[in-house]
Amino acid sequence: MRRLTFPIALALSVAAWPVFAAGPLERLYDPRDGVLVVAHRACHRAAPAHGFERPVAENSLAALERCVALGVDLVEIDVRRTRDGALVIMHDAKVDRTTLGKGRVADLTLAQVQALKLKDDPDSAPPTLEAFLAAARGRVLVNLDLKGPYAAEAAAVARRVEATDWVLFKAKAAAGAPPLADLSPYQDLAFMPMIAAKSATTPSGLARITLRQASGTRQIPAVETVALRGRGFTAVRDAARAARIRVWTNTLAAKGWRGMLDQSDDRKALRHPDRVWGRLIGEGASIVQTDHPAALLDYLERRGLRGQPPASIATAGLPPSS
């Protein structure tokens, strides 16, 4: 992987915009190159319009293969550590929901995890991070959601399987934190800071965090917005535009009363895509994470939003912000 080190050229020491060919990683770093689709926990949902009649296990190698077939841009997976220090792909702290076994990942050995069978794929076990990255390398970008403090170990795995060009790391950025992309273990890896609503008390504070994270010696491709709404989202969006980086947003279905009140989740997007996906794209998001990547890809194709620069997206007749 090339070292993404560039001269500081913009106000507030924002890194200069690199010029790349249009490969997967290069598209990630170029906010002019259309809307990117992220499959949350890989492509586990059924997609009948694309020939996939049944769901498959989340965070599985089968879900990875479906993502490759659908043509999504990034696959998001969750990483946990076993009792004996191995990194495996599992969202929950316990294996109960997704496998036929029981127990906490942290209390099980790698051998015990690999002996488990996935509920939606009884012929397969939860994959290791190494196996997943090796399978994805050269085919699709992978975003790691680390469920514990093992970024250095995950980076070592990516290097060992020569997948550093195909992995995007991320971590939450607090107010006052230095540019995380410059810190170990991310120096030779793609890294994206996460800006949460609780990261600052004011929209201007959120903007300062964004600009600070974009001011390092290494270019970042995007910032992930976490539960940002209204003025907070707008402040981060404007700061990201100044830094010439992408804005990542999530339309994942929330649970409980939050899910009933949230107007930007996948359930509403499936019914009214213009009001959710279209509105967020019109407001400036150019990376969207969803549990329904096939539906989002179809929507973007219908609206002509794949591969379109921001100016074209802004004039595509999308609904105004509500």
List, for residues 264-291, the tens digit of each pLDDT value: 589 999 999 999 999 999 999 999 999 9
Q: How many CB atoms lie within 10 A of CB 117?
A: 15
Residues (pLDDT < 50) of the chain are: 1-21, 257-263, 310-317, 319-322
pLDDT (tens digit, 9 = 90+) per residue, 154-188?
999 999 999 999 999 999 999 999 999 999 999 88
Q: What is the pLDDT of residue 22?
A: 62
CA torsion sign for 186, 245, 241, 283 is negative
d(CA 205, CA 209): 6
What pTM value is reported for the model? 0.88
d(CA 116, CA 233): 41
Q: What is the pLDDT of residue 305?
A: 86
d(CA 147, CA 189): 19
Q: What is the pLDDT of residue 5?
A: 37
Q: How many CB atoms lie within 10 A of CB 134?
A: 16
Residue ranges of alpha helices (H) inside the chain are 24-28, 61-70, 110-114, 129-136, 151-160, 203-213, 230-243, 256-261, 266-271, 273, 279-283, 293-303, 310-314
Q: What is the pLDDT of residue 306?
A: 81
Q: What is the pLDDT of residue 140?
A: 97
Cβ neighbors of 70 (< 8 A, separation 6 or more) are 39, 43, 47, 50, 293, 294, 297
d(CA 125, CA 138): 23
DSSP-based three-state secondary structure for 261? helix
pLDDT (tens digit, 9 = 90+) per residue, 224-244?
999 898 999 999 999 999 999
